[in-house]
Structure 1
């Protein structure tokens, strides 16, 4: 099976999961706490969709609303076009993989995966075939008789995944399933999860606070904060073109700059930034004297001692920190306008650093990499 292109329903059908005006509030210590606010969201069939954000942003509550572990205070949740508001989790055609895996310690791998099928009365021969096929898919063939305690963390995660997928749900909900793994294993499992999702072709809804996970695996990402979706888009869109200051700061490293508009033209604005500094920003509706906030990613910025060519954005400053990271060197530069700017410079040669602490340098980048946060004001 193949997955649906990002954001597009399969065969003209509606979304796999839809939230329509969903609110979720809790009452604690005499206060009303809003976990999810005015959520309108569609998740396409066959899509690998991630809910990304810091702790307490509402992403896990959103997942639990889809799975039936929570009920909305207002609004409706739909699965395949049918409202499931009020329908218990056991009667929703979705399965959930939790961070803890929740495997049965007294059962071996085969019996853990077969548990749901046996409860549904699936014939013995079909159980054997389906479990065997699923263990092949998650690369656990030959380990059928092992207990969970005899498996590595990554293998336990695969058992939990196989147990959920063997029931052939319409959607799989994953609540930070890799959080307990070490970095190297987590990165390997990210590749495996995406491969498995592509092969089975069902909708995956993935909750994480790890931006790297979301960017590397997802077709689309919803970045959440304080119960709201701040931005919805492909990984490239939310990284390259953050919609808000929060998204710019949360996704990767971003330099937040701004100032008064010195020049304005059709679709562009120019900010004077300290002595000899000039930042051009593609933006509409700019007027001289207005204020504008923008972001530029550290890897888009060049650093050197010579004045940049005309047509590039440029800022002058003094290097305050140099951090060697193997593949790149990170520079922190205090600019004449009083703002620190971070630069990631790829180590393409084995020579010396481009600059040292205390050096006066020029920073430059293509104006296309200046991205305005909101409209000029």
Structure 2
């Protein structure tokens, strides 16, 4: 007699499914405040998906909505509209103390009467974790932030950078699903802040926890982030890797806010050899590898259209002779030079009210020594020009 074997239906791998979920999702999130008789939209329709283990930065000027966005993730503010999810679970309306995230602020908020070890252990003791477990986890965390030798010291005996690492260890020892950092390095001097940027990235890699970092400092965001959301007036203007937002800015705001960028107005005059020619001030020609999509769709009819190209100062060559064909060739007059040791910065008037900034590395074989008043030629390849609609 034939027998029929039955196989239990496969059950989904819950852990694998959870791992596929973004660590943090914002879906149409907005936040409005009343200011007298007016309504202020601090955050306006933000959609974000922050991946597991990602170092993600919210970057923008003061008042752009980045801190309000982070506070909604933490649960300190509730969205006026939209949904906040942590690991796929809707936490909109869930209080901050029931969300599996920790937050580190610019002010370290360490307990001055406690030792470094006791500061780090504080949250674990509040949760009733066993003493042996506390000792083990605090020890591991202090070694991670390279402060094991300072465990018995008080916060007042530490430098600003060491205090910031204690605050970081205290937040991480609870093993949150995500760590939120609101301009945590703002109180440090420049050299220490730069050193801490490297340390933060190292620590994030080692613990593998999702970091969401709020900053107005472009250098910080470019140094540490896997991806950056550039915010302005409550909206995300561009989302991408550091290289994408720097090399290919999506809007004028991003081009101007991320580092230094030259924005040069011109008119499309035609295309040849895979590049578009743009007439800029005084009839000089700049080259673009591509046009904005709205103009590219017009084909040859794009000629005569106004366009704005952006090119980074370090991409531009400066010389006394007209460059060969095949590159942008723009003449101008040097109006200012600033020697900065490793590089010299030039301001060059190209006519028509346009000034171009050039960064020239002071390498051992550098022969150019342009002074104010010198006539020079600026040049750069087509692929270093990025187009924006004028």
TM-score above 0.5, yes or no:
yes
Q: How many residues align?
A: 367
In the alignment, which of 77, 85, 88 is matched to residue 81 of structure 1? 88
Task: State TM-score, norm by structure 2.
Answer: 0.91
1:50–1:222 Cα contact (<8 Å) kept: yes
Matches within 5 A, 1:1-377: 13-264=20-271, 268-275=275-282, 277-281=284-288, 282-283=290-291, 284-285=296-297, 287-349=302-364, 353-374=368-389
The 1:101–1:321 alpha-carbon spacing in structure 2 relative to 1, beyond 3 Å, is same
Q: Does the Cα contact within 8 Å between 2:264 and 2:280 map onto a contact in 1?
A: no
Residues 275 and 382, structure 2, Cα contact 8 Å, conserved in 1: no
The 3-state SS of whatever aligns with 1:368 is helix
**Contact 1:304 1:354 (8 Å CA) reproduced:** no
Distance apart, 1:148 and its partner CA: 1.0
* CA positional deviation for 1:350: 7.3
The more displaced of 118-127 and 275-284 is: 275-284
Q: Is the 8 A contact 1:298 1:342 kept in 2?
A: yes
For the residues of structure 1 that align with 2:366 and 2:22, how far apart are their CA atoms?
53
| 1:164–1:253 CA distance, 2 compared to 1 (3 A) | same
1:5 is aligned to: none
Q: Which structure would you say has the larger Rg? A: 2
Q: How far apart are the structure 1 equivalents of 2:40 and 2:162?
A: 38
**Cα distance in 2, alignment partners of residues 355 and 209 from structure 1:** 34
Query: 2:29 touches 2:43 (CA, 8 Å); kept in 1?
Result: yes
Q: Structure 2 CA distance, aligned partners of 1:288 and 1:338?
A: 23
| 1:80, distance to aligned residue in structure 2 (A) | 0.2
Tell me how far 1:273 sits from its aligned partner. 2.1
Q: What's the offset of the Cα at 1:142?
A: 1.7
TM-superposed CA distance for 1:336, in Å, is 2.7
Distance 1:18 1:148, change over 3 A: same
Aligned Cα RMSD in Å? 1.6
2:12 paired residue number: none
Partners of 1:10 and 1:45 lie apart in 2 by 12
